[in-house]
């Protein structure tokens, strides 16, 4: 099976290259970082499963042609680009339709994008069809399978995508005619392997919370720099500060792998997690960012240099 529309993700592509369709599973989770192409991969996989040609998806059989024209009734995509996840009634409706026998391929493929946004009630409503699918293959996409109910995860085969390389992102941005070559190179560096994010950076610039988190992470090991970086974080809005915390934790978890001061970074990580949990009780962002700087300074003398 091939993934003709999917950029990068060589590991996923080679995994599926020689996999027979009946070994893919009927309840699938496609996970991976935001913007790595999970929904594209899910749609390619759906096309390959429904294809009746040789080199799946062949692009020319009746199923492939209908899919391209958007008229293949054996394929449905839920939850993409929605602010809100499908509600319980929509999930029940989807479940009922999954029992209806398909006309052409003998089965159907339902892709549920951002399945981690489904509330527990909606996820529970899917358990039966994930366990004993009748006529439908379900492909759920999400950034992290751990954000789904354990009961959902245990019924699915999990496949994982990878962040896109800078080269692939630059080539794609150039192809789309977005930004100057310098802007493309800059966005590719900052986007953490997400094409969507790279496009967003070119169109809207790097978000303030992310700039502040990068500055803070780079300042670790220098007390004065940490103080300045926390001042910058203190001027964010409450919502931005929450995103700053999430982004900083993400960066810390990356730094931990290559740091001799891993334990200190973990303690800082825990402190920030705790700040996020108690944000509702603390009205002032500048108090939070000040406390963060004090935590770094007081406990470690500013000496949390990730590289040493």
Is the C-alpha dihedral spanning 165, 41, 25, 65 positive or negative?
A: negative
When asked if residue 64 is in the footprint of Zn ion (CB under 5 A), the reply is yes
When asked if residue 58 is in the footprint of Zn ion (CB under 5 A), the reply is yes
Pick one of 61, 149, 246, 266: the residue that binds Zn ion (CB under 5 A).
Answer: 61
Considering only residues 118 through 157, tell me which ones interact with Zn ion, judged by CB under 5 A.
Answer: none
To Zn ion, the closest distance from the beta carbon of 41 in angstroms equals 17
Please tell me what DSSP assigns to residue 45. H
To Zn ion, the closest distance from the beta carbon of 21 in angstroms equals 12
Cβ closest to Zn ion, residue 72 vs residue 275: 72
180 Cβ contact partners less than 8 Å away, ≥ 6 residues apart: none
Q: How far is CA 296 from the centre of its chain?
A: 30
DSSP string covering 139-204: EEEES-GGGS-HHHHTTSEEEE--PPPHHHHHHHHHHTT-S-HHHHHHHHHHSTT-HHHHHHHHHH
Q: Which residue stretch of 48-56, 98-106, 206-214, 285-293 sits at the interface with Zn ion (rule: CB under 5 A)?
A: 48-56
Pick one of 25, 53, 221, 290: the residue that binds Zn ion (CB under 5 A).
Answer: 53
Cβ closest to Zn ion, residue 8 vs residue 57: 57
Q: Which of 285, 168, 164 shows the shortest CA–CA distance to 233? A: 285
Q: Which residue stretch of 20-28, 51-59, 219-227, 250-258 sits at the interface with Zn ion (rule: CB under 5 A)?
A: 51-59
Binding site for Zn ion (CB under 5 A): 51, 53, 57-58, 61, 64
């Amino acid at each position: 099976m091939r993934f003709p529309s999917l950029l990068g993700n060589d590991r996923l592509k080679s995994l599926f290259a020689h996999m027979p369709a009946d070994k893919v599973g009927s309840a699938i989770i496609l996970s991976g970082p935001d913007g790595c192409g999970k929904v594209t991969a899910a749609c390619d996989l759906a096309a390959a499963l429904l294809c009746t040609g040789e080199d799946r998806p062949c692009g020319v059989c009746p199923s492939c042609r209908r899919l391209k024209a958007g008229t293949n009734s054996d394929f449905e995509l839920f939850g993409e680009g929605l602010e809100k996840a499908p509600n319980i009634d929509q999930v029940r409706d989807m479940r009922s339709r999954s029992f209806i026998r398909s006309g052409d391929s003998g089965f159907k493929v339902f892709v549920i994008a951002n399945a981690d946004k489904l509330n527990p009630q909606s996820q529970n409503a899917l358990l039966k069809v994930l366990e004993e699918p009748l006529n439908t293959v379900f492909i759920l996409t999400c950034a992290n399978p751990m954000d789904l109910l354990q009961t959902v995860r245990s019924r699915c085969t999990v496949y994982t995508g990878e962040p896109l390389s800078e080269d692939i992102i630059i080539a794609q941005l150039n192809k789309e005619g977005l930004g100057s070559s310098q802007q493309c190179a800059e966005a590719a560096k900052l986007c953490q392997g997400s094409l969507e994010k790279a496009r967003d950076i070119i169109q809207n610039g790097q978000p303030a919370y992310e700039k502040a988190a990068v500055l803070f992470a780079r300042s670790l090991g220098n007390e004065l720099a940490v103080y300045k970086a926390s001042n910058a974080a203190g001027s964010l809005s409450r919502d931005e500060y929450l995103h700053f915390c999430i982004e900083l934790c993400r960066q810390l978890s990356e730094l931990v792998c290559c740091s001799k001061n891993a334990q200190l970074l973990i303690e800082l990580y825990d402190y920030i997690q705790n700040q996020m949990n108690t944000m509702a009780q603390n009205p002032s962002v500048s108090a939070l960012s000040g406390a963060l700087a004090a935590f770094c300074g007081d406990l470690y003398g500013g000496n949390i240099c990730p590289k040493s």
